[in-house]
């Protein structure tokens, strides 16, 4: 069954997401999340950009392209030193005014990599192999920065050092992993990924232009605010001054709200990715 972007008691979270639409804000997403971003974007390409994508990437789909940076992570450490930092902007969750140079030194972060490789992708005089690599990085990083735990940090490696339980019988896992995988599965709720991606496209017809207008900068702002006010902010016992319990049990309300946020973030990532590819390829 395709959930109709279920509203499972989000409360204030919906107000946060609505305000983004008006204002236009380690690993991110497991394979399902990255595939969904690519599938949403693929539906929104026009004929010209679709042909340009095929000329550059052959039969490789955006859903597959989005997985490349994770699959090639170890090789990239050797060929692109520092590339492990391209998946996140670790902006301190309790210091919103921190200078970018403190968490993105010399452009070694998601936003730095995105700007660099977007320029290569848009250079039609560049070598095809270089543009294909740039495409793979742009697609992946656009997905990454829509995951709230990839643009915020509390001296815990983006939530990787925070142990949580999702559900009564679950084993402890990093908070970051819960946002990468568990809440994606909760959002999809057993639907076929292609059907769910189509559902996300259809349910955002009226807001698509506003989402596209915000672009990459809005994605960073949105994700950081969601990390502040929900991903970290709604954790039981969270405080900028105090520590958390050894293992934090997430309530069903937290998990349901997170699943709704994840659905919205994946939709926005795909919509923005399609707009970037239409403008760049």
Q: Is the pLDDT of residue 4 over 90?
A: no
Q: Residue 248 has what pLDDT?
A: 92
Buried b (16+ CB within 10 A) or exposed e, 153-173: bbebebbeebbbebeeeeeeb
Among 83, 242, 233, 64, residue whose Cα is nearest residue 159: 233
- Output the pTM of the full model: 0.89
pLDDT at 245: 77
The answer to whether residue 56 scores a pLDDT higher than 90 is yes
What average pLDDT does this structure show over 87-106?
Answer: 94
Q: How confident is the model over 163-204, as pLDDT tens digits?
A: 999 987 789 999 999 999 999 999 999 999 999 999 999 999
pLDDT for residue 15: 42
Residue-level pLDDT at 51: 98
Give the rounded percent of residues in the chain with a pLDDT score beyond 70: 90
Encode pLDDT of 67-77 as tens digits.
Answer: 999 999 999 99
Ranges assigned E (strand) in 138-269: 163-166, 173-174, 247-250
Q: According to the model, what pLDDT value does residue 242 have?
A: 73
Rounded Cα distance, 126 and 108, in Å: 22
**For 262-280, how does the pLDDT look when each residue is reduced to its tens digit (9 = 90+)?**
999 999 999 999 999 999 9
Q: Would you state the structure tokens that stand for residue 206, as one six-digit string?
A: 């009226």
| Lowest model confidence (mean pLDDT) among 164-173, 202-211, 221-230 | 164-173
Report the distance separating Cα 212 and Cα 229, nearest Å.
Answer: 23
181 close to 30: Cβ distance less than 8 angstroms: yes
* Amino acid 262: pLDDT: 98
Q: Give 246's pLDDT tier (boundaries 50, 70, 90).
A: confident
Position 21 scores a pLDDT of 38
Walk me through the domains of the chain, giving residue ranges and CATH numbers: 12-90+99-280 (1.10.575.10)
Percent pLDDT > 90 in the chain is 83
* In the predicted structure, residue 18 carries a pLDDT above the cut 60: no
Examine the pLDDT at 25 and tell me if it is beyond 70. Answer: no
| pLDDT value of position 20 | 40
Residue-wise pLDDT tens digits, 103-160: 999 999 999 999 999 999 999 999 999 999 999 999 999 999 999 999 999 999 999 9
Q: Is the pLDDT of residue 13 over 50?
A: no
Cα(272)–Cα(260) distance, rounded to whole angstroms? Answer: 19
232 has pLDDT over 90: yes
For 13, the enclosing helix (H) or strand (E) is helix 12-23
- What pLDDT does 27 receive? 55
């Amino acid at each position: 069954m395709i959930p109709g972007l279920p509203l499972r008691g989000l409360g204030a979270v919906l107000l946060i997401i609505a305000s983004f639409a008006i204002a236009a804000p380690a690993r991110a997403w497991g394979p399902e999340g990255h595939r969904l971003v690519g599938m949403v974007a693929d539906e929104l390409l026009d004929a010209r950009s679709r042909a340009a994508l095929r000329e550059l990437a052959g039969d490789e789909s955006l859903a597959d392209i989005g997985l490349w940076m994770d699959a090639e992570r170890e090789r990239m450490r050797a060929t692109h030193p520092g590339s492990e930092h391209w998946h996140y902007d670790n902006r301190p969750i309790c210091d919103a005014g921190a200078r970018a140079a403190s968490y993105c030194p010399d452009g070694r972060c998601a936003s730095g990599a995105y700007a660099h490789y977007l320029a290569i992708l848009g250079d039609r005089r560049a070598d095809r192999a270089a543009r294909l690599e740039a495409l793979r990085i742009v697609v992946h990083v656009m997905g990454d920065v829509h995951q709230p735990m990839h643009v915020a940090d509390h001296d815990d490696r983006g939530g990787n050092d925070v142990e949580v339980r999702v559900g009564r019988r679950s084993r402890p896992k990093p908070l970051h992993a819960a946002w990468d995988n568990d809440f994606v599965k909760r959002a999809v709720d057993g639907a076929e990924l292609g059907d769910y991606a189509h559902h996300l496209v259809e349910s955002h017809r009226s807001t698509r232009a506003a989402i596209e207008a915000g672009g990459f900068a809005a994605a960073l702002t949105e994700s950081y605010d969601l990390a502040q006010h929900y991903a970290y902010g709604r954790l039981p016992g969270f405080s900028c001054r105090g520590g958390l319990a050894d293992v934090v049990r997430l309530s069903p309300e937290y998990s349901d709200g997170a699943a709704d946020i994840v659905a919205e973030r994946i939709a926005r990532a795909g919509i923005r990715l399609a707009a970037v590819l239409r403008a760049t390829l």
